[in-house]
A and B are shown apart, each in its own frame.
Chain A
Amino acid sequence: MPRTVKLAVIGTAAGAFSGLLGVGGGTVLVPLLVIWLGFGEREATGTSMMAIVVIAALAVSLQATYGNVDPPNAALVGVPALAGVVAGTAIQQRVPERAISLLFAALLIVIAIELIVP
């Protein structure tokens, strides 16, 4: 499969999950970049964030047309998150790449349990 087609498939899948579940799509992007395109873990996370900027901006614009977006609440969780993300990326540079994969797998399992248990 041509590389651009793979990127398109990844973008479509990430976009669908982003729009559907209100996440950036990184849960789909990171593992697919690692498993399917052979990215290193750190590269996959950095590139994922680049795509998330575009995907989340598109998704929130579309959700806004349904009147579902609450900017003050977004600021309440999003502003502290800016400090969190600076800390998180700094910590990531000091962690072995395999540990990132295993942590990511743990995150996915927690998410799955959270979704399955009503």
Chain B
Amino acid sequence: MYGSGLRPLSIATAVATAAAAVLIFFYAPIEADQGFSQKIFYVHVPMAIVALLGFVAAGLMAIKHLRSRDRSWDLRSYVAIHLSIILGVGVLVTGSIWAKASWGHWWRWEEPVLVSFLIVFLLYCVYFPLRFSIEDPDRQARYSSVFAITAGAFVPLNFVAVRLAEQVLHPRVFSQTGGDLPGEMFLTLMVSLLAMALLFVTLWKLELSAKHAAQQLKRLRARLELQSERRAEGRGPVPAGAGADGGAVATVPAHPTSA
């Protein structure tokens, strides 16, 4: 159900990634000022963009959850944030490597993407302790969604603020993550971005599928145990839907549309 479309998606991801790799190393020209280390740009920037979009998308999914009370949306939101955090680690590490390679320092405050990413990353790290400190599954989902929405609204504002601040602090003489890119670099960037986005969606569906299966299993086990208890006591079969609803259960829509 969540896993539907996973095979074509993975194939598309593999194709896009291969295409991106080819373009990065054989097509895109070597950049004049930074030389070969500029190639990091093609993995760092797509990761950053996809991660940020992932956070915003998680906020939107959280809105859907609160409006529809359908906990499957909260699950989708959670997995998106989880994935974006992992990408976020990648963004910070590759950004740091890039800074060292191009400028000799392991960190650059002038780069607004990197800086605003650090802030966003610090913020979203709190999501997990908050989420797992709440035991009641319904409350857990609701509070997580509130967090995701607040943080999602924060992401664009934060980016603007940091950009403004860095403009004042470090007038941008030379733009690395935007501005005018020659055509070949732009194409390469776009393809890399596509590959990263496809990868994100593929992994997202994969994790959703696994999580959902685990939840279904939990419910199934609870029902079966209840059933064998009743059988041992000599009573009738368990009525439908009377599983011990101890664990967090995501309501599964009748016709799940793969997002």
The answer to whether A and B assemble together is no
B: which residues have CB within 8 A of A?
none
